[in-house]
Homo-oligomer: A and B are copies of this chain.
């Protein structure tokens, strides 16, 4: 069997995979004729060029490559499905945000920051969707579970890695400790350092 062009095979694999494919998994498709990473990356770059101006594009997500519908046509394509995408409650999103930004974190720590109990239902939904998993236990009484986000979380929210999360808002003035801001009632009395 003569081997079709590298690009065609990679295109077929990206279409059929059903999940983002890493360069490693693509390399594994060619056990007889070992390729270099750069050859795979170049083939993907050529495919990207081919798709320019078309209805699809190649996105880099969760440590791999995924072919997806281009955002400009997505609103029309979304009409294919009758039921709307699930909406998630603020409680769930806040819990998920805390796990994403503060992982690994216990449920107790989440509750402390949110100032309210986290329902078991929320944790179950997050675990069921496989956005979150238990990665260990804190050595405290009761050995509470430590939660962290998963690859499926990155995939779902189209993130390349956790570094791609939107930056967390900074505290008002990170250079000055809160205590100094709170010297009672005299916010204007700060020494100004104009010469």
Contact = CB atoms under 8 A, between A and B. Distances in A.
Interface of A: 1, 3-4, 7-13, 15-17, 21, 25, 28-31, 53-56, 67-70, 72-77, 79-80, 83
A11 B11 CA distance: 15
A47 to B, nearest CB: 9
Given A25-B80, A76-B29, A83-B28, A55 B8 contact: yes
A8 B79 CA distance: 15
A69 B1 contact: no
A80 B16 CA distance: 9
Given A4-B55, A4-B72, A4-B73, A15 B67 contact: yes
A79 B15 contact: no
Nearest to A11: B55
A25 B28 CA distance: 38
B15 A55 contact: yes
12 contacts: A8-B55, A9-B76, A10-B55, A11-B55, A12-B55, A12-B56, A12-B74, A13-B69, A13-B76, A15-B69, A21-B80, A29-B79
Given A8-B53, A8-B72, A10-B55, 14 more contacts: A7-B55, A8-B54, A8-B55, A9-B77, A12-B55, A12-B69, A12-B74, A12-B77, A13-B69, A13-B76, A15-B15, A15-B69, A16-B77, A16-B80
A31 B80 CA distance: 12
A28 B76 contact: no
A30 B77 CA distance: 10
A7 B76 CA distance: 12
Given A4-B73, A8-B70, A72-B8, A13 B80 contact: yes
8 tightest Cβ-Cβ pairs between the two chains A and B? A11-B55, A12-B55, A8-B55, A12-B69, A12-B73, A12-B77, A9-B76, A9-B73
